[in-house]
Amino acid sequence: MKSEIDHLESKIHWGMVVDLDRCTGCEACVVACRAENNVPTAGEDQAARGRAIHWLRVERYWEGEFPEARVRFRPVLCQQCEAAPCEPVCPTFASYHNPEGLNAQVYNRCIGTRYCANACPYTVRFFNFYNPVWDKPLHLQLNPDVSVREVGVMEKCTFCVQRIKAAEIQAKAEKRELKDGEFNPACVQTCPPKALIFGNLNDPESEVSKLARSNRATVLLGELNTRPNVTYLERGSWSGEEGGPASAG
């Protein structure tokens, strides 16, 4: 695939690790993501219709029957797949793969066929059913680095591409390489138990690439061969057996 050649040439390949053994399900990442990325609130009525936008969600699953029930959390965000099903189906190249391994979304190109969202197995693409509104004074806290999306446009997690670009520009200006952990997406920065780790997968010494090679590593819905750049870490399967996959709901 073209994307593979691209990131071989690039020194950088962004990736994330989600340590399910550390996640407490506190949802601080969800709040941080909203604040950073100007994610609009849908309102009670629209949320009930399934139109709430959460670029990052914490899925909650129950294991066993009450009272022996045990809760498991799984933060799910755009998996930034290498072989992303959303990319080839977009007729306007609004969804495309950038050379640094990001599954990018160009809002201005999007005409709202919603095909990408149907093709996405993780259901992490979100559609603007109406023009976004912010109740005053919330409009004052909008992040000036992130564009606000209009009605009819698809949006999703970008790995905080605005932070990536800012750091890259800064490093270039100072004529140096990016350091591991120099910056982080909002969710990673916020996570209290450090369950989220972000970095360059092409750097074998980075924390994220070390963790991604761990024997606890697994990917979500691996059987679909989407080759995600988000890796999940967990000890054993959810049912308590050793070495099972985390893909089944």
Partner 1 sequence: MEWRGGWSGERWVIPMASLDQDTLNRVDDDLLRPLMATSRRYFVASSLVGLIVLTAVAVFGYQVWRGIGVLGINRPVFWAFYITNFVFWIGISHAGTLISAILRLANATWRRPVTRCAEAITVFALSIGAMFPIIHLGRPWLFFWLVPYPSQRTIWPNFRSPLLWDFFAISSYLTGSVTFLLLPIIPDWAVVRERAHGWRKRLYRVLSLGWRGTPRQWNRLETAMHIMAVVIIPVAVSVHTIVSWDFAMAPVPMWHSTIFGPYFVAGAIFSGIAGLILAMALLRKCLHLEEYLRPLHFDNLGKLLLMMSLLWFYFIVAERLTTWYGNESSEMAVFWATQRGAFAPLFWIMVLCNFGIPFPLLAIKKLRTITGTVIASSTIVVGMWIERFLIIVPSLARKYLPYAFGSYRPTWVEITVTAGTFAAMGLLYLLFVKFVPIISIWELKVGLRATLPARAAWRQKAAPWSQCRDLRGRPNAGEAVLAANLMAKEPRE
**Interface residue list for partner 1 (CB under 8 A):** 46, 49-51, 57, 59-61, 76, 85, 88-93, 109-115, 117-119, 121-123, 126-131, 150-154, 221, 224, 226, 248-249
Show the CA angle centred on residue 129, arms to residues 123 and 130, nearest 5°: 145
Looking at the Cβ atoms of 115 and 142, the one nearer to partner 1 is 115
Looking at the Cβ atoms of 43 and 99, the one nearer to partner 1 is 43
Rounded least distance, CB 121 to partner 1, Å = 5
Distance of alpha carbon 85 from its chain centroid, rounded? 15
Rounded least distance, CB 129 to partner 1, Å = 3
Listed residue (161, 84, 92, 93) closest to 124, CA to CA? 84
The whole-angstrom separation of Cα 118 and Cα 102 is 20
Tokens representing residue 22 in the block:
């550390």
Per the DSSP assignment, residues forming a β-bridge with 95 are 105
Looking at the Cβ atoms of 14 and 122, the one nearer to partner 1 is 122
Looking at the Cβ atoms of 57 and 163, the one nearer to partner 1 is 57
Rounded least distance, CB 182 to partner 1, Å = 33
Looking at the Cβ atoms of 123 and 214, the one nearer to partner 1 is 123
The whole-angstrom separation of Cα 108 and Cα 56 is 22
Q: Do the Cβ atoms of 132 and 149 come closer than 8 Å?
A: yes
Looking at the Cβ atoms of 87 and 183, the one nearer to partner 1 is 87
Q: Do the Cβ atoms of 178 and 139 come closer than 8 Å?
A: no
Rounded least distance, CB 103 to partner 1, Å = 15
Rounded least distance, CB 39 to partner 1, Å = 14
| Residue 124 Rama label (left phi>0; alpha psi -120 to 50; beta) | alpha
Tokens representing residue 168 in the block:
């890259």
